Amino acid sequence: MIPYVREIDIEYGRCDQVSPLIRRVTANNPGPFTFRGTGTYIVGKGEVAVIDPGPDDPAHLAAILAAVAGETVTHILITHHHADHSPLAGPLKAATGAPIWGCAVVGPEEDDTGEVKMEAGHDHDFRPDISLCGGGEVAGKG
């Protein structure tokens, strides 16, 4: 069994090294779907990919840009289009010029059960530059 670790040292705006090629910046959006906050991951060194930029939060954008200062963002990758993962992709693209990769929402959310949803809301405005809806390979240095 994998233990559910509740103790994690999070400081919003700080960039944490989580492995030799991966850093994490946590958004200040704690909640039942995000735990302490959405993790934005930066992969590589020099030329980097940013995975799941997070919610549209200017302070989080500033933290990501500070974390990649002096580097080139070559990819913005969206794992899924929940409102805590993809809305900051557009502002990050505007700041870096990097293309956005992902799969856009196809249609409206289905909610015919009347029960509480167990998912965060979808970002219906998300539009990737490069669609990965049918699968694909993303490659870069590191």
Which residues are annotated as catalytic?
Answer: 84
Strands 72-77 and 100-102: parallel
98-114 exposure pattern, b = at least 16 Cβ within 10 A, e = fewer: bebbbbbbeeeeeeeee
CA dihedral over 59, 64, 66, 70, signed as positive or negative: negative
**How many residues in the chain?**
142
Pairing of strands 22-26, 39-43: antiparallel
- How far apart CA 22 and CA 97 sit, in angstroms, is 21
20 vs 113: CA distance, rounded Å = 45
